[in-house]
A and B are shown apart, each in its own frame.
Chain A
Amino acid sequence: MAVTVKIPPQLRAAAGGQGSESVEGATVGEVLGALYDRHGELRERVADDDGALRRFVNVYLDGEDVRFLQGLDTAVSDGAELQILPAVAGG
């Protein structure tokens, strides 16, 4: 399953300067894992020691916050878009 992962500016230096990458995986967790394998530095930025998403990291699958889905276990379909963004809100 090839998924496009959108990487925010704050993480691009750790991802070789890329704004997006095509990554394989069947779930959100697998896709992120494959991304970390490619860019080791990303792992500690996005995930905590247990592999869960850090408190201020939001991940969206085709626009939906994965916390409304099955989190890291959410299945992804071919051609889906996974977006990583910092949490910020108020207005």
Chain B
Amino acid sequence: MAATSLQCKECKTPYALEARYVCERCFGPLEVVYDHERVDDVAEARRRIQGGPQNIWRYADFLPLEQPPASARRASSLSGLPAGCTPLIRADRLAERLGLGELWIKNDAANPTHSFKDRVVSVAVARARELGYEVIACASTGNLANSVAAHGAALGLESYVFIPADLEEQKVLATGVYGTHVVAVRSNYDGVNRLCTELSGERDWAFVNVNMRPYYAEGSKTLAYEVAEQLGWETPDRCVVPIASGSLFTKIARGFDEWRELGLVSGDGPTMNGAQATGCSPVAQAFAAGSDVCRPVKPDTIAKSLAIGNPADGPYAVELARRSGGGVDAVTDDEIRAGIRLLAETTGIFTETAGGVTTATLAKLAARGDIGRDERVVAFITGEGLKTLDAVRDTFTTHEIDPSYDAFEAEFAGARA
């Protein structure tokens, strides 16, 4: 594998590629570093990727695994769930509505458990198995719980998922069905996270987003690789991405950077726009204040999947937004509901509240005139609408009628014949 070590993002102390996530010197987060061979024949390297499996393992050379399940051309449950290779759809009707030129929707709801979390969990769990773990676990705002439970089921690993007790019912049901241990903690996500951080020090489990976090985070790079490949080996000009902890946001940018450095993709690094809910916007607030200290907040928003009040990668997300000429915006719960409707009505894609945050932020940027008509924009839709049904309840009318021709005619008099 091309990964050579873990390294502290703050003080650069190197560590072995083990299940560790924090620098013993300065408490900074650890990150995977690679030593990629130079790519001399770009066309050949691209063909190699294109010839790979129809899932994230086609990018195995860029992931921190010794033995990626890549050789399995046919999906087998024993190699986990096949994440990735989700559609990138040109959204002309939405673009027209917003007055934009070239707009694409990366629909990552089209993953095995219907969110981008299958990417990060695939990588974390594959690495956990290489390191010999038999139990996987996570602290989740919902989608991660779905994914960890499903991966555990596919691979025959025992799993424990920790969620805030007030999570959407759809997300709880879509987790428990896999036969995991669902632990509903009477607290918000930050309390769940604190408990799991403590537990990870005492139990020999692979917490995908705690002690396996450096590997987990790498999985999000595959979204950038896929978009680059789907755009014909070019970078987009701008990305709009939801932010909870800030990991997804920063790793999408990293994925484009890695491939630009290797010459696999052409174009500049995209302008990066982060999207948060006003009811939980520590990163947007730090950006607006011109600071890189994200003061923790107590979340209060319908976008529960993004409700992390104390985002560990917040400072890096703020820094990236600034460096790339982008920003981090926040949208209200009403704007989120409207965003879900807007995306559904113009693209046929029904997203959860996190996608409502992304769409509403895109609309806000467009209305503000921040996006040029010549820009190629990608909005990352990371989750599925069926998991947050309350967000659309009572937003339309149903026509209830008797089963008769006359009843229909009476209801729809004046409709197109």
**A89, B315: Cβ atoms closer than 8 Å:** no
Stretch binding the partner chain, chosen from B22-30, B232-240, B253-261: B22-30
**A91, B27: Cβ atoms closer than 8 Å:** no
Among B24, B26, B141, B209, which residue has its beta carbon within 8 angstroms of that of A88?
B209
- Please indicate the chain B residues that have their CB under 8 angstroms from the CB of A38 in the complex: none
**A90, B213: Cβ atoms closer than 8 Å:** yes
Q: CB of B198 within 8 A of chain A? A: yes
Residue from A54, A68, A83, A90 whose CB has the most chain B CB atoms within 10 Å: A90
Within the complex, the shortest CB–CB distance from A59 to chain B, in Å, comes to 11
**A88, B201: Cβ atoms closer than 8 Å:** no
- Expressed in whole angstroms, the Cα–Cα distance for A83 and B199 within the complex equals 13
Among A54, A63, A68, which residue has its beta carbon within 8 angstroms of that of B296?
A68
**B312, A56: Cβ atoms closer than 8 Å:** yes
Residue from B139, B194, B244 whose CB has the most chain A CB atoms within 10 Å: B194
- Please indicate the chain A residues that have their CB under 8 angstroms from the CB of B201 in the complex: 8-10
Among B27, B139, B193, which residue has its beta carbon within 8 angstroms of that of A54?
B27
What is the size category of the interface that chain A forms with chain B?
20 to 34
A45-B26, A86-B27, A90-B308 given as contacts; is B315 within 8 A of A55 (CB)? yes
Among A6, A13, A68, A88, which residue has its beta carbon within 8 angstroms of that of B22?
A88
**B138, A91: Cβ atoms closer than 8 Å:** yes
Within the complex, the shortest CB–CB distance from A14 to chain B, in Å, comes to 8
A89-B245, A90-B245 given as contacts; is B27 within 8 A of A63 (CB)? no
Among A56, A83, A85, which residue has its beta carbon within 8 angstroms of that of B26?
A56
- Please indicate the chain B residues that have their CB under 8 angstroms from the CB of A85 in the complex: 194, 197-198
- Please indicate the chain B residues that have their CB under 8 angstroms from the CB of A91 in the complex: 117, 138-141, 144, 189, 193, 209, 244-245, 308
Within the complex, the shortest CB–CB distance from B209 to chain A, in Å, comes to 5
- Please indicate the chain B residues that have their CB under 8 angstroms from the CB of A89 in the complex: 139, 189-190, 193, 209, 244-245, 308, 310-313
B192 to chain A: closest residue by CB: A91
**B312, A87: Cβ atoms closer than 8 Å:** yes
A54-B26, A56-B22 given as contacts; is B190 within 8 A of A88 (CB)? no
**A57, B27: Cβ atoms closer than 8 Å:** yes
Among A45, A54, A88, which residue has its beta carbon within 8 angstroms of that of B21?
A88
**A86, B244: Cβ atoms closer than 8 Å:** no
What is the size category of the interface that chain B forms with chain A?
35 or more
Q: CB of B210 within 8 A of chain A? A: yes
Interface residues of B in 12-45 (CB under 8 A from A): 21-22, 24-29
Q: Mark A70-85, 1 if CB is under 8 A from B, else 0.
A: 0000000000000101
Residue from A58, A60, A63 whose CB has the most chain B CB atoms within 10 Å: A58
Interface residues of A in 29-73 (CB under 8 A from B): 45-46, 54-58, 60, 63, 65, 67-68
**A56, B139: Cβ atoms closer than 8 Å:** no
- Expressed in whole angstroms, the Cα–Cα distance for A53 and B138 within the complex equals 27
A8-B201, A54-B27, A63-B194 given as contacts; is B210 within 8 A of A88 (CB)? yes
- Please indicate the chain B residues that have their CB under 8 angstroms from the CB of A67 in the complex: 295-296
Q: CB of B191 within 8 A of chain A? A: yes
**A88, B193: Cβ atoms closer than 8 Å:** yes
- Please indicate the chain B residues that have their CB under 8 angstroms from the CB of A58 in the complex: 194, 310
- Please indicate the chain B residues that have their CB under 8 angstroms from the CB of A87 in the complex: 27, 29, 310, 312
- Expressed in whole angstroms, the Cα–Cα distance for A63 and B254 within the complex equals 34
- Expressed in whole angstroms, the Cα–Cα distance for A87 and B29 within the complex equals 8
A14 to chain B: closest residue by CB: B24
A10-B22, A91-B139 given as contacts; is B28 within 8 A of A56 (CB)? yes
Within the complex, the shortest CB–CB distance from A69 to chain B, in Å, comes to 11
Within the complex, the shortest CB–CB distance from B177 to chain A, in Å, comes to 19
- Expressed in whole angstroms, the Cα–Cα distance for A89 and B317 within the complex equals 13
**A10, B27: Cβ atoms closer than 8 Å:** yes
A87 to chain B: closest residue by CB: B312
Given contacts A83-B194, A88-B193, 18 further A-B contacts (CB under 8 A): A46-B27, A55-B293, A58-B310, A60-B194, A63-B194, A87-B29, A88-B22, A88-B197, A88-B312, A89-B189, A89-B244, A89-B310, A90-B245, A90-B311, A91-B138, A91-B140, A91-B141, A91-B144
**Which residues of A are at the interface with B, using a C-beta cutoff of 8 A?**
6, 8-11, 13, 45-46, 54-58, 60, 63, 65, 67-68, 83, 85-91
14 example contacts (A-B, Cβ-Cβ < 8 A) are as follows: A10-B22, A11-B24, A46-B27, A56-B22, A63-B191, A67-B296, A68-B296, A86-B21, A86-B22, A89-B139, A90-B209, A91-B138, A91-B193, A91-B209
